[in-house]
Amino acid sequence: MNALLGTTRGSRRLKNGVCKYFEPTEIRSEMQILFCTLNTHKIDMTKLLGGQIGLDDFIFVHRKGQPKEIEISKTEDALGLTITDNGNGYAFIKRIREGSIIDSIEYIQVGDHIEKINDESLIGRRHFEVAKLLKDIPKGTTFTIRLVEPVRAGFSNIEPRGNPKKGAKKTSYGSGKETLRFKANGNAQIQNENQCDTLLQPDSVMQIGIDSINQLLENFMGINDTELATQIWEQGEGKTNSMDFAEAIDASDLEEFGFTDDFIIELWGVITDARSGRIG
């Protein structure tokens, strides 16, 4: 059995599909888990477990499967990968660009965990670190990448544990339309559907801006990270020109990313476009 029953007791956080809040009945270590998907057993990167789950949702655990080592010749500047991570030390492939170097290698698939480049272990690295290492490999170089694919067959569903007594009343959860939202500090709160619509939906202009920033991150850096895109958007709040925005980036934790001046101008462009309604 490759997807296992867990409980919501001992919750910590939900981020990029990692199932840290479960106490699985068979998985002995969360280090076996690559990511989780919501309401599908398929390796679908649009269904990665996010910051909230409904009480009627099903969660599928995707755990480590077959490791594989592949030798790649970098014949182009970009490999064509978009990388994310599970917040628990495993970076994995979220998207492969059609027609790219990686697209031509049938053994590399979406969902594969990137464990090593040559002899350098990438366990514990964030996705942007892995993307930078791959980007910095010189064109014309041949390198070896070690991947671990998720187990791809035999899934059974898991869900938050309910009352084991058949026919037991569910007075605590009402109609089942409530959503259990986990906070960063480990607290949990049940909110009904209407409350969630009010409290959890970000401002539409902000969301458009964050989505656009995320697209730039993917195009320029090969990463997809809503949290990082949100931090960048927040640095632009109250700024009226690109110089002030650049100074805010340099004075924040984002400085370590080493964004180029041209990239910061691109970021500022999508922020101002979102504010003015030129994109949507």
pTM score, whole prediction? 0.57
Query: Residue 159: which pLDDT band, with cuts at 50, 70 and 90?
Result: very low
For 257-272, the pLDDT digits (tens) are 888 889 999 999 999 9
Instruction: Tell me the two tokens of residue 110.
Output: 């979406």
CA 158 to chain centre: 20
Task: Examine the pLDDT at 279 and tell me if it is beyond 90.
Answer: no
**Mean pLDDT of all residues in 238-260:** 88
In angstroms, the CA 149 to CA 248 distance is: 40
**Mean pLDDT of all residues in 244-250:** 92
**Mean pLDDT of all residues in 87-102:** 90
What pLDDT does 61 receive?
85
